Amino acid sequence: MKINDAFLGLIMGVIGVAIVLHAQTFPVMAGMQYGPEFFPSIIGGGIALCGVGMVVSWATSRRADPWVTVPDWMRSQINVVRALGVLAAVVFYIIASPALGFILTIFLTALGLLLLLANPLWLSMIIALVLPAVLHFGFSVGLRVPLPRGIIEKLLT
């Protein structure tokens, strides 16, 4: 989907200003030359400037682009279902991972997405079985990120 640069720039400008304004509400840290609002303000200002740049670029180009252009792939129902499946997988992970745990949730999510993308069942199963182990090792052991514990994780310890 192609969104008009002026519209997207306007949204970015508003978000950037909102970030800067919100950062100003952060508490002042005694004895520090730069407070906690410093870097968020720089980032918000940068986002706002990029938004202004997009609006100016659109205004000087004298193009009459529509606000939104729908690409060809969105005219196919299966492609739209597949794109929505990715969003559904993220929502499923957020809702299910506290109860099921990381390993089982990633297995189910990966298997569902791989099958939705029309991969063969045998390949989907192999990937869905290997992926949670690799991710669990990488995040939990390698990076020491606490992951949601569930049925399988309780059996491992």
Spatial contact of 103 and 129, defined as CB atoms under 8 Å apart: no
Non-local (6+) Cβ contacts of 95 within 8 A are: none
Task: Tell me which of 118 and 75 has the higher pLDDT.
Answer: 118
Phi and psi at residue 2, to the nearest 5° = -105, 120
pLDDT tens readout for residues 11-62: 999 999 999 999 998 888 777 777 888 889 999 999 999 999 998 988 888 7
What letter would DSSP give residue 73? G
Percent over 70 (pLDDT), the chain:
98
Residue whose C-alpha is closest to residue 148's, from 99, 91, 108, 111:
99
Is the model's pLDDT at 2 over the cut of 80? no
Distance CA 89, CA 65 (A): 33
Distance CA 6, CA 22 (A): 24
The predicted structure's pLDDT at residue 27? 84
For residue 142, what are the CA distances in angstroms to 21, 138, 139? 37, 5, 6
Displacement of CA 138 from its chain's centroid (Å): 20
